Amino acid sequence: MRNYDLTPLYRSAIGFDRLAQLAEHAATKKANSGYPPYNIELLDENNYRITMAVAGFNMNELEITNEGDKLLVKGVKPEASTERNYLYQGIAEREFERTFQLADHVKVVSANLENGLLDIDLEREVPEALKPRTIAINQGKVVNTDS
């Protein structure tokens, strides 16, 4: 695996240190396994949906945790009391843990399990103080009003 030097990004991105750290972390971290498969859907400008295929799991076996900027989805199967004799087992019923990195101001709104699909709805709420604002440009001499 190649190592990329992101030092120039740190020098030229004022205030975006966290973005550079995330990019560096993503480049060095091992990729999640492909299980369970999932989609990330953009519903509109500020709403998203993560859909995970969790066939074989019920609501009691799934856990969703949102801590800071991380969303953790975990599936835990209890110990089977009866031994089954499969000729072929194509439905994976193994435990899993999948972590999603959430952007700033994105929160989990709801979760729904239906027909083996787990839908997690997310919403981005940017505080009013952080929204872009127009700055008036004055012409002429600057008047100091602090005296």
For residue 35, what pLDDT is reported? 86
In this structure, which amino acid lies at residue 34? Answer: G
Going by C-alpha positions, the residue among 47, 101, 46 that lies closest to residue 71 is 101
Angle at alpha carbon of residue 34, lines to 33 and 40, rounded to 5°: 120
Report CA 135 to chain centroid distance, whole Å.
Answer: 33
Write the CA distances from 69 to 66, 76, 103, 117, integer angstroms.
7, 23, 7, 23
Question: What are phi and psi for residue 79, nearest 5 degrees?
Answer: -60, 130
Element (H, E) at 7: helix 7-12
Going by C-alpha positions, the residue among 41, 105, 117, 33 that lies closest to residue 68 is 105
Q: What is the pLDDT along the chain (147 residues), one digit of tens a residue?
A: 566 666 665 554 445 555 656 666 666 555 556 789 999 999 998 899 999 999 889 999 999 999 888 999 999 988 766 677 888 878 777 899 999 989 888 999 999 999 999 999 999 888 877 778 888 888 877 666 665
Cβ atoms 36, 28 nearer than 8 A: no
Which structural domains are found in the chain, ordered by start?
Answer: 1-30 (no CATH), 32-127 (2.60.40.790)
